[in-house]
Amino acid sequence: MSDDKSTIGEGNSMSGEGTSMSDEDKGTVTPTEPEGAASPGRADKPADKAADKPLGVLAAAIAAAPPPWWHWRRLGRLARARWTPVVGAAVAGVLLGGAGVAWQAEAGPFHEERACWGALGEDDVADLFHGKRDIESSEVGVSRDSIASDGPSGLCELKSPRGMRVRAQLHRLDDRFGGDRDKWADEYLSARMVPLGGGLLGMVSDTRAWLAIPEGCVGRPGERDGPLVIDMDAGWTTYDDDVDTDERARLARTVVKLVNGYMADQGCDSPIGDPTDRLAEPARFIDEKRDAICGIKGLALPGKGVGGRYDRPLVTKNTKDTPVRTCDRDVLFGHPSLRLMTVEDPRLAVLYKGLSFDGGSEVTAVGDTKKESRGRGFLREDTGLYQASCQTGEVTFLIRADDDGHAAEIRRLLPRYVALEAERVGCGPLRLRMPS
Amino acid sequence: MTGDIPVDSRAQRLVRVRRFVRTRRGGVATGLVVALLAGGVGTWATDTWPFDGRDRYCWGAWQEDSGPGILGDEGFEGDDDRSRTSTGSAPTSREPRGQCRLSVSSSDTYQGDKDQQDTTVTVKYGPAPESAGRRVTWLGGYLGDRAMPLPDGLPGVADGNHGLLVLPERCDTRDGRPTAVTLDASEGAEADDVLPAVPMLGGSQDVARLLVAAANKGMEAAGCADGEPLRVSGPLPTLPEREESFPSGAICRIPGLDIESDLGKEMAMRLNYQVGAVNDDLQSCSARIGRSLRLGERADQPLFDAVMVREPRISALLDGATGTKAPGKGWRGTGTFASDYGIVRAGCAGRPTSFLLLGASTGTTSDYFATFTNAVARRLGCAPVAPAADAEGGRR
């Protein structure tokens, strides 16, 4: 042991000096050993302060004092002990193993905060919030109600301290009361939305996004069930035809990630690709001609036409695989005062199946026989609806007003609207017989 | 002082180890051990394994346990005598045709009864058959019945046990015919089967994946891959509806396609149909007389399969198969009606559109085909192709 001590003392006089500088200032260390012990080492340095006697004594004392346990000198000595390699190897092994386990389990330093049912990583959330990373998330996990058979559901909210809030929801669309209780259809099938394309059932705007979980993964919903969707609500915008396409792309990417996350949980390993490149240009207000209400050639009303001077209609952009074509006018807080809508996708038209059995004066089609009919429909003061069976499946034609003030217009518009739209979606000829 | 000796020898051993580590050879050896350890941790943590001993089949296109059911553990229906082998030759740049057969077999004994599984999956790479008739029945077989289009614009179709994928133009033959990859699965019949056995590959999604994997490997082998392999992006669409076994009135939602009234009462009861894809590129309607177990029938008796296809790449497979004349009096476009198939191709809303009929193209079936053709043409927004029965274009 004495051997070791001397080696340290000799070999390290140089650095001992370095530490002495700072210790001097404190002036707390008092010499406990004769100054001669360390002086030979210092004497041969010309620029040394060794000439200054008290300081020399101090430095010598420091060099000679037993270093504290954590000091590298002592640790260095430890490294020379016989058992050290074994302990060292064990410690290294434990560290490596622990790090490996932590990595694999994504715990500790490898843990990533994931939001919205584990579907969004930190980068994904930052992408949605313009690169900001101080987003709070809270959620109600995905669960299933085994009594009401409403299908799986879950909620998630992402909130920025600057006020922006995005809500995501997993739920089965309600087909019992028409358009998932109208509010969903008003907002999520609005003319501001464009389809996500690529055969997907989903749409997006700069404030709303929705995407059905592909049936190839979760199976087809029951005969009278709506599709299972994840939708996103990013708040409001002053309603006009101006859609922020960057914001829209962010929502589109995120809703696809949410659906991919849900599918991965269900054991489906074919994620959907990024849809943003194929999104269509947003719709703009159209200048309506007298004989082309909502831009539908041949749809006309005698007299002044529909609506006033200022409520130009917004019509869903005509793209290849849009599930709906909506014509909204006079929209207030996402609620149109008059809507003409054709739901072309049978998976979505099921939302109006329940309503089509609803009350009102019955609308039939020319050519209906007792055995076979083209579909079902009714007329009310505020609603005209016809659900037809087409080659592609069920198609819903709907005219809906927010009050009874449009009753005469609806009655006049419905047969003509259905005939023209049926022709467009490949379901013609379809002529309605209106109740008297 | 006997205890000192082992301590000393241990110390000596340590010294020897340290000395060894410090030599060059020792350094290399230590480095190797550390590298192996690190690599081991890495492969474990990332769940990859370079020497996993997994088998590869069919030109190396398919790997054991790579996802599709038939390549995994669930591919075996029984617990005993499991075997999975493949034979066949890959296409080459000189001979761009190839085929491969994957055989999966197993058996299970339950209460003395032995169940034998003999699943065969055949993959073919090459151009469509030469003769027009064989080409129509070949293609129609993949497009009809329960087939759905592959997702995200891949030109192909798949169902639970067969599929077809048309390769990009760079793989066309020298005379300009497209190359296709097809997959067909079958299950060996057993003497005591009540119904014909259905091969289980893991669903149409898995069929699509097998198809695309074989196509990528085939293109590589034939020298027409371009570095960007094809992939199945997103789940396959599902059929719009189930098989309808109690139809009333028009079948397949085609206005005027009323078969029931032409059949006897007994047959009408057994009529069923399947609507396949109905979109801008593909539409199919398959009508059958359901098997009667009472009469000992083991399979449905097909009435006809009517298919419309206008997906450009799939449609290109039919180039030259329609001849130059109209198939019959009053028909628009070119085509042929033969004893067991029919084909007509005409321009429709700006695109060449082909209508295929599998089944006898005579008598009532020919009328059904005309009704189907005109109804679909009308849906697509184009002039009637078949001689119309009335001004509306349909046969209502």
Write the CA distances from B341 to A91, B265, B347, B370, integer angstroms. 77, 27, 21, 13
Per-residue confidence band for A21, with pLDDT thresholds at 50, 70 and 90: very low
pLDDT more than 70, % of chain A: 80
Instruction: Read off the pLDDT of each residue in B349-356 and give the average, rounded to a whole number.
Output: 94
Rounded CA-CA distance B324/B74 in Å is: 50
Give the pLDDT score at B5. 52
* Structural domain includes residue A180: no
Q: Does B297 touch chain A (CB under 8 A)?
A: no
Give the pLDDT score at B51. 56
* Structural domain includes residue A103: no
Query: How many angstroms away from the CA of B193 is the closest CA of chain A?
Result: 29
Give contacts of B381 with chain A, Cβ < 8 Å.
Answer: 426
Rounded CA-CA distance B355/B285 in Å is: 11
Per-residue confidence band for A391, with pLDDT thresholds at 50, 70 and 90: very high
With CA atoms as reference, report the closest residue to A343 among A387, A395, A283, A410.
Answer: A395
pLDDT at A104 over 90: no
Higher pLDDT, A28 or B256: B256
Give the pLDDT score at A33. 47
Give the pLDDT score at A405. 86
Give contacts of A103 with chain B, Cβ < 8 Å.
Answer: 45
10 Å Cβ neighbour count for A322? 19
Query: How many angstroms away from the CA of A273 is the closest CA of chain B?
Result: 6
pLDDT at B394 over 50: no
Give contacts of B279 with chain A, Cβ < 8 Å.
Answer: 392
Give the pLDDT score at B29. 80
pLDDT at B16 over 80: no
Q: How many domains does chain A have?
A: 3
Give the pLDDT score at A31. 47
Residues A274 and A125 reside in one and the same domain = yes
| Closest Cβ–Cβ partner in B37, B236, B380 for A426 | B380
- The verdict on a CB contact (< 8 Å) between B235 and A85 is no
Q: Is A126 helix (H, G, I), strand (E, B) or coil?
A: helix
- The verdict on a CB contact (< 8 Å) between A198 and B153 is yes
10 Å Cβ neighbour count for B248? 11
Window 354-393 of B: residues touching A by CB (8 A cutoff) are: 375-376, 378-381, 392
Q: Within a 13 Å sphere around the CA of A277, how many CA atoms are in the beta-carbon half? A: 4
Give contacts of B392 with chain A, Cβ < 8 Å.
Answer: 429
> Among A24-38, A375-389, B79-93, whose mean pLDDT is lowest?
A24-38
pLDDT at B324 over 90: yes
Highest mean pLDDT among A99-103, A121-125, A329-333, B238-242: A121-125
Residues A275 and A311 reside in one and the same domain = no
Beta-bridged to residue A331, according to DSSP, are A336
Residues A124 and A242 reside in one and the same domain = yes
Q: What is the count of residue pairs from A and B with beta carbons less than 8 Å apart?
A: 95
Bin A178: left if φ > 0, else alpha if -120 < ψ < 50, else beta: left
Give contacts of A389 with chain B, Cβ < 8 Å.
Answer: 253
Residues A151 and A267 reside in one and the same domain = yes
- The verdict on a CB contact (< 8 Å) between A199 and B14 is no
Give the pLDDT score at A90. 85
CB A365 within 8 A of CB A348: no
Give the pLDDT score at A223. 74
Give contacts of B149 with chain A, Cβ < 8 Å.
Answer: 199
Beta-bridged to residue B123, according to DSSP, are B100, B183
pLDDT more than 90, % of chain A: 47
Q: Does B253 touch chain A (CB under 8 A)?
A: yes
Give the pLDDT score at B45. 61
Residues A305 and A430 reside in one and the same domain = yes
Query: How many angstroms away from the CA of B95 is the closest CA of chain A?
Result: 33
Residues A266 and A231 reside in one and the same domain = yes
Rounded CA-CA distance A284/A313 in Å is: 9
Residues A350 and A436 reside in one and the same domain = yes
Give contacts of B249 with chain A, Cβ < 8 Å.
Answer: 371-372
CB A250 within 8 A of CB A123: no
A180: which 2 tokens?
């998932």
Sheet arrangement for strand B98-110 = B80-89, B98-110, B113-127, B179-187, B162-166, B156-158, B148-149
pLDDT more than 70, % of chain B: 92
Window 133-152 of B: residues touching A by CB (8 A cutoff) are: 149, 151-152
CB A396 within 8 A of CB A343: yes
Residues A332 and A272 reside in one and the same domain = no
Give the pLDDT score at A216. 84
Give contacts of A268 with chain B, Cβ < 8 Å.
Answer: 205, 235
A421: which 2 tokens?
């739209």
Residues A129 and A150 reside in one and the same domain = yes
Give the pLDDT score at B90. 94
Highest mean pLDDT among A90-104, A116-130, A286-300: A116-130
pLDDT at A55 over 90: no
pLDDT at B2 over 70: no
Supply the mean pLDDT for chain A: 82
Give contacts of B232 with chain A, Cβ < 8 Å.
Answer: 270
Angle between helices A13-26 and A53-64 (to 10 degrees): 120
**Residue A27 belongs to what domain range?**
2-80
Give the pLDDT score at B282. 95
Give the pLDDT score at B3. 47
Query: How many angstroms away from the CA of B38 is the closest CA of chain A?
Result: 9
Write the CA distances from B38 to A88, A90, A427, integer angstroms. 17, 15, 65
Where is A361: in which H helix or E strand?
A: strand A361-365
pLDDT at A1 over 80: no
B132-155, pLDDT tens digit by residue?
999 999 999 999 989 999 988 899
Rounded CA-CA distance A193/A213 in Å is: 18
- The verdict on a CB contact (< 8 Å) between A372 and B41 is no
| Closest Cβ–Cβ partner in B235, B280, B378 for A217 | B235
- The verdict on a CB contact (< 8 Å) between A391 and B280 is no
Rounded CA-CA distance A66/B183 in Å is: 81
With CA atoms as reference, report the closest residue to B102 among B161, B189, B167.
Answer: B161
Give the pLDDT score at A111. 72
Query: How many angstroms away from the CA of A319 is the closest CA of chain B?
Result: 13
User: Which one of A87, A94, A270 makes the best mutation probe of the B interface by having the most chain B beta carbons within 10 Å?
Assistant: A270
pLDDT at B182 over 80: yes
Residues A276 and A290 reside in one and the same domain = no
Give contacts of A272 with chain B, Cβ < 8 Å.
Answer: 233-235
Query: How many angstroms away from the CA of B233 is the closest CA of chain A?
Result: 6
Chain A residues in contact with chain B using a Cβ-Cβ cutoff of 8 Å: 82, 85, 96, 100, 103-104, 198-200, 214-217, 219-220, 263, 268-273, 320, 346, 367, 371-372, 389-393, 426-429
- The verdict on a CB contact (< 8 Å) between A199 and B232 is no
* Structural domain includes residue A86: no
Supply the mean pLDDT for chain B: 87
Per-residue confidence band for B24, with pLDDT thresholds at 50, 70 and 90: confident
Calculated CA dihedral for residues A24, A26, A32, A38, nearest 10 degrees: -20
- The verdict on a CB contact (< 8 Å) between A391 and B278 is yes
Rounded CA-CA distance B376/B54 in Å is: 48
Give contacts of B67 with chain A, Cβ < 8 Å.
Answer: 269
B30-47, pLDDT tens digit by residue?
778 877 887 777 666 655
* Structural domain includes residue A186: no
Per-residue confidence band for A230, with pLDDT thresholds at 50, 70 and 90: very high
* Structural domain includes residue A245: yes
Give the pLDDT score at A5. 43
- The verdict on a CB contact (< 8 Å) between B235 and A263 is yes
* Structural domain includes residue A430: yes
- The verdict on a CB contact (< 8 Å) between A271 and B234 is yes
* Structural domain includes residue A127: yes
Residues A76 and A123 reside in one and the same domain = no
Beta-bridged to residue A394, according to DSSP, are A389
| Closest Cβ–Cβ partner in B204, B238, B379 for A426 | B379
Instruction: Read off the pLDDT of each residue in A236-261 and give the average, rounded to a whole number.
Output: 90
- The verdict on a CB contact (< 8 Å) between A391 and B253 is yes
Give the pLDDT score at A36. 44
* Structural domain includes residue A293: yes
Rounded CA-CA distance B144/A248 in Å is: 38
Q: Chain A: residue nearest B235 by CA?
A: A216
A276-334, pLDDT tens digit by residue?
999 999 999 988 888 899 999 999 887 766 666 567 899 999 887 899 999 998 888 88
Rounded CA-CA distance B203/B125 in Å is: 22
The verdict on whether omega for the bond into residue A429 sits within 30 degrees of 0, i.e. cis, is yes
Residue B218 is which amino acid? G
| Closest Cβ–Cβ partner in A100, A270, A390 for B235 | A270
Sheet arrangement for strand B341-348 = B271-278, B282-289, B301-309, B351-358, B341-348, B334-337
Give the pLDDT score at A383. 93
Higher pLDDT, B168 or A87: B168
CB B186 within 8 A of CB B120: yes
| Closest Cβ–Cβ partner in B45, B381, B396 for A100 | B45
Q: Does B238 touch chain A (CB under 8 A)?
A: yes
B270-286, pLDDT tens digit by residue?
899 999 999 999 999 99
List helix spans (H) across A153-196. 183-188
Instruction: Read off the pLDDT of each residue in B81-108 and give the average, rounded to a whole number.
Output: 94
A182-205, pLDDT tens digit by residue?
889 999 999 999 999 888 999 999
B295-322, pLDDT tens digit by residue?
878 788 889 999 999 999 999 999 999 9
Residue B137 is which amino acid? T
Give the pLDDT score at A151. 85
Residues A361 and A287 reside in one and the same domain = yes
Q: Does B241 touch chain A (CB under 8 A)?
A: yes
| Closest Cβ–Cβ partner in B152, B249, B380 for A198 | B152
